[in-house]
Amino acid sequence: MSPLSGTERGSGGEDSHSGKPHTPGTRRGRMLADSAVVEEMPVWLEVNGEPAVTWMCTPDQLEELATGWLHGEGYIESLDDLVKLRPCAPDLGFWAEVNPERVAAVKGENRKRVLASGCGAVSTFLADPHQVARAPARGEPPAPERLRALFKELFARGERYNETGGIHAAALTDDERLLFHAEDIGRHNAVDKVVGAAVIARKPIAGRGLLVTGRISAELAYKAARAGLAYVATPSVPSTLAVTIARRTGIVLVGRAVSGTPHVHRPDT
């Protein structure tokens, strides 16, 4: 039996796309573009009875968001590690139950609380990038022209992006197609949503590629490392700490991925 219950799923299914098709320039598109706002709401999560995080996020695919965050923070590796994920009926929040040993392991990492480089004042916990365990390279990104084609599909799927222009997107890919896609006001949330969708669907994540529309920060590099991703690509650039983490953990980072000359940062050998 699935540990997930009681909430309506968003568009997190494989090769998914929520809502009706939308073409920029239509009457519906112009009307929504005139308002030019993006949904943002607080959503909280408790893990084994303790407050863990409150996201400022776009309020859909929330089960995927919670599951992906738990995965990215090391609380779970698969859906089997998530004993229960129960929504709060009165407001937007979740109670998660996981193996107490995994909670103890996360707390034992002694991560430092930092003000992260996310959208807004985001407080998070990070380990020392220079103490991250080394891992071999997991694979190479596709050729630049293929990567640009994947990003073209990512942008085309962006219903909220086409309506407002004020949203981030992320997608997992096998280099042939987009497997899972999500949009959110925060790029970290979008990444958690696509990873969570893959975990819920019990689809492989290790060795896949991740496309993101914002810069690749240290937080995203950590999430990619925990997920076992082969590469992360962005039209923007990675941070110096993200490059340090990626080089140690076997991840290729691709900056300026939609340009004619992508910047490729490969792992240490």
Catalytic center residues: 119
- How far, in Å, are 77, 78, 139, 206, 250 from residue 134 at the CA level? 19, 22, 15, 16, 7
- How far, in Å, are 23, 180, 263 from residue 54 at the CA level? 34, 24, 34
Reduce the DSSP state of residue 207 to 3 states and report it.
Answer: coil
Four-point Cα dihedral 258, 263, 264, 267, nearest 10? -130
Tokens for 6, please give them.
């009681």
Q: Which residues contact 148 (CB under 8 A, 6 or more apart)?
A: 257, 258
The C-alpha atoms of residue 205 and residue 188 are separated, in whole angstroms, by 17
Q: Using the CB atoms, write b or e for 126-142: b if 16+ within 10 Å.
A: beebeebeeeebbbebb
Q: Which residues contact 48 (CB under 8 A, 6 or more apart)?
A: 96, 97, 98, 100, 103
- How far, in Å, are 36, 107, 138, 234 from residue 31 at the CA level? 9, 48, 45, 30
